[in-house]
């Protein structure tokens, strides 16, 4: 174990049965309630590491299309990908075999490339294939360097990690399915947003820009990365209600009559009606945005005349993103405004049409927004 001592790893005593049970129950409770794939990989790696007293544990997933093993989380290293036939993990995957090694450098299957990059020294290794409910190998657990005085993984370690792999396979399969469903929702939402805008002669890049601006505003306002991403995904549906507005109103180049404008306003209620019954978080968020992105801070907006923080933050954010893009873009009824004119309008409408704090946020991150404007130009 001199190599392990050289890197100052603290040795441990084998776990008592009650300690093992505590670890199992702790991580099972975390994993059972978690849908985020990144966090699942972290919890599963932590569970394997703590359960068998490994220094490091990585959970690799197999991408059959790219022929790669990948991990979003690995102890002590950044996110990694590697060819699925490389190293001990690749061998265990391809052969669907468990691997026990006391000294990795004496095994020809070991790939020392990562050790050479990081300065770490791999000695003992345990690799367990992970299978889905159909018995297909979907990845591997790889544990490195046993932290007991003998430095060697045992048969009990294999059994414990196999138990963790069996449970992890089921949880991962469920999470991957949820991820696929969410990705499908994202694609449908964006496509429907494009359809809604195309009816009024807008381009698909308008909804793309509004989505990108909304995320930047949300992050700079202080919302979490996950909630900011949710707004980005949901905001393309802000004008989906336009699908029910007659063409002669949507495409009218001149000013709308009072009656025509009233009909145009109905797109907020129509969009809300289309989306509000969904139980999916993304679509519920899209419903809020479709309904409230024309409300105004001073209560003079539509459809409900909401005022101030009665307007959901998602609606307030999308309102600024949508108006900004409308002003700096050519439309059937106007030419694009120059940037100074746009900035002056937002300053004038601070606390009138728009949330004053969000206007300050918008002006503070304007350079970042302009980069996105150019990146997704029509």
Q: Which residue numbers are catalytic?
A: 242
Cα–Cα dist 295/358, whole Å: 14
Q: Which residues pair with 81 in a beta bridge?
A: 70
338: burial class by Cβ within 10 Å (0-12, 13-18, 19+)?
A: exposed
Check residue 245 and give left, alpha or beta (phi > 0: left; psi -120 to 50: alpha): beta
Measured in degrees and rounded to the nearest 5, phi and psi for residue 189 equal -60, -45
C-alpha span between 246 and 64 (Å, rounded): 47
Distances (CA, A) of 241 to 61, 194, 197: 41, 12, 10
DSSP state of 98: -
Q: Which two tokens stand for residue 23?
A: 């670890």
Tell me if 153 sits within 8 A of 126, measured CB to CB: yes
Sheet holding 68-71, edge to edge: 80-83, 68-71, 54-63, 137-146, 125-131, 99-101
Q: How far is CA 118 from CA 68, 288, 351, in A?
A: 21, 48, 53
Phi and psi (nearest 5°) for 56? -140, 145
Residue 171 is given by DSSP the state H
Neighbours of 114 (CB within 10 A): 15
Q: Quick check: helix, strand or coil at residue 63?
A: strand
């Amino acid at each position: 174990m001199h190599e392990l001592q050289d890197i100052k790893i603290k040795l441990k005593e084998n776990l008592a049965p009650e300690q093992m049970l505590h670890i199992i129950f702790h991580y099972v409770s975390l994993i059972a309630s978690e849908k985020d794939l990144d966090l699942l990989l972290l919890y599963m790696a932590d569970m394997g590491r703590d359960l068998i007293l490994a220094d490091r544990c990585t959970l690799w997933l197999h991408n059959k299309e790219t022929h790669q093993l990948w991990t979003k989380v690995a102890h002590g290293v950044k996110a990694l990908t590697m060819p699925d036939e490389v190293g001990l993990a690749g061998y265990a995957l391809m052969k669907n075999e468990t691997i026990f090694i006391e000294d990795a450098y004496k095994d020809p299957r070991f790939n020392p490339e990562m050790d050479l990059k990081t300065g770490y020294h791999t000695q003992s290794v345990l690799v367990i294939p992970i299978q889905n409910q159909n018995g297909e190998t979907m990845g591997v657990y790889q544990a490195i360097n046993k932290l007991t005085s003998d430095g060697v993984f045992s048969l009990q370690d294999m059994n414990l990690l196999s138990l963790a792999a069996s449970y992890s396979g089921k949880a991962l399969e469920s999470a991957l399915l949820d991820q696929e469903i969410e990705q499908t929702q994202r694609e449908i939402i964006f496509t429907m947003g494009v359809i809604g805008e195309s009816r009024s002669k807008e381009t698909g890049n308008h909804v793309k820009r509004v989505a990108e601006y909304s995320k930047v505003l949300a992050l700079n306002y202080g919302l979490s990365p996950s909630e900011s991403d949710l707004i980005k995904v949901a905001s393309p549906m802000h004008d989906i209600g336009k699908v029910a507005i007659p063409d002669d109103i949507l495409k009218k180049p001149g000013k709308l009559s009072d009656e025509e404008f009233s009909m145009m306003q109905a797109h907020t209620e129509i969009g809300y009606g289309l989306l509000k019954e969904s139980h999916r978080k993304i679509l519920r968020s899209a419903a809020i945005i479709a309904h409230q992105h024309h409300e105004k801070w001073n209560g003079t907006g539509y459809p409900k005349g909401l005022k101030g923080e009665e307007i959901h933050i998602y609606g307030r954010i999308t309102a600024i993103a949508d108006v900004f893009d409308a002003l700096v873009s050519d439309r059937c009824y106007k030419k694009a405004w120059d940037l100074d004119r746009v900035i002056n309008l937002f300053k004038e409408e601070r606390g009138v049409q728009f949330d004053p704090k969000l206007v300050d946020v918008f002006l503070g991150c304007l350079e970042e927004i302009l980069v996105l404007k150019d990146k997704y130009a029509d």
